Amino acid sequence: MRSDYTLYKRRVQGVFMWCARFFWDEKSGRYSMSRDLDVPIEGKKERRKEAGKKARALLEELRRFAPLPEPSGPAGVSLTPYLLDFWSPGSRYIREKAAVERKPLSAAYIAMSRENIIHHVQTWPGFAGITLGALAHAMIRDWKLWAAERGLSGRKINMVLQSMRVPVRDAYRDEVIGIDPFHNIREAAHTEKVKGILSPAEVQRSLPAPRLRITMPACRCC
């Protein structure tokens, strides 16, 4: 029988840190979630004892406040097919938006959300074979890093995060999964394009040209 947690090392901004995986699932053959412990790996003993103590405390907190069900049943569905089904016309969520909330989603928004999953979620190897119930906070952070290093803008990364966040949180509200892996996931930085203020010369050029009034000199021949 495996332990309910295991420590592992992860490089964060050039520094190696201790992290932990929690809740071993025999059916899927993997741990169900991961968390950063904010303990740097340093010194002769690498502060492993401190990391283990923090992992055990976090494990008890997770057991008490957010027990994780085994990823079986609805939680055991593959992640990307679930996301694609969610953004398919006729899904429960889309029908509820239109019929219950009276806030129908546009066809363009639904199509864009599906495209985000197809081109930017399904293509990441880290999500291959992952079930909905096994999606973890650390996986989402790893995906963000992969997307940024691949060249996606901060604005696009946030759009794709939204295309994932809405379906996953819908499953969390339905108690299909016991933990919201998007909790405390930060948005990617991006700069909005702000229109500049016109200079006086630019304002003058934007105005219509003044009309010239020509006055003929009085005739002096009479």
pLDDT 10s digits, 105-132: 999 999 999 999 999 999 988 888 888 9
Q: Is the pLDDT of residue 205 over 80?
A: no
**What would the two tokens of residue 111 be?**
């199509």
Q: Tell me the C-alpha distance between 152 and 156, whole Å.
A: 6
Paired strand residues for 159: none
CB atoms within 10 A of CB 196: 7
Work out whether strand 30-40 and strand 5-12 pair parallel, antiparallel, or are unpaired: unpaired
pLDDT of res. 68: 43
pLDDT of res. 70: 43
Per the document, the length of the chain is: 222
pLDDT of res. 112: 95
Q: Model pTM?
A: 0.57
Continuous H helices in 100-153: 107-116, 137-150
pLDDT of res. 43: 87
**What secondary structure does DSSP assign to 179-212, as a single string?**
S-TTTTPPPPP-----PPPPPHHHHHHHSPPPPP
Q: Is the pLDDT of residue 16 over 50?
A: yes
What is the three-class DSSP state of 21?
Answer: strand
Kindly state the average pLDDT of the residues 34-47.
86
Q: Tell me the C-alpha distance between 196 and 201, whole Å.
A: 14
**What would the two tokens of residue 71 be?**
């990823």
Catalogue all structural domains in the chain, each as residue range(s) with its CATH number: 1-68 (no CATH), 70-190 (1.10.150.130)
pLDDT 10s digits, 135-149: 999 899 999 999 999
**Which one, of 75, 62, 156, lies nearest residue 116 by Cα?**
156
Q: Tell me the C-alpha distance between 134 and 116, whole Å.
A: 21
pLDDT of res. 192: 66
Q: DSSP 3-state helix, strand, coil percentages of the chain (rounded to 5)?
A: 45, 15, 40
Kindly state the average pLDDT of the residues 24-37.
73
Q: Tell me the C-alpha distance between 161 and 183, whole Å.
A: 12
- For residue 69, name the pLDDT band (cuts at 50, 70, 90): very low
CB 144 within 8 A of CB 152: no
- For residue 152, name the pLDDT band (cuts at 50, 70, 90): very high
**Which one, of 177, 172, 148, lies nearest residue 160 by Cα?**
148
**What would the two tokens of residue 182 be?**
């998007």
Q: Which residue has the tokens 């968390």?
A: 35
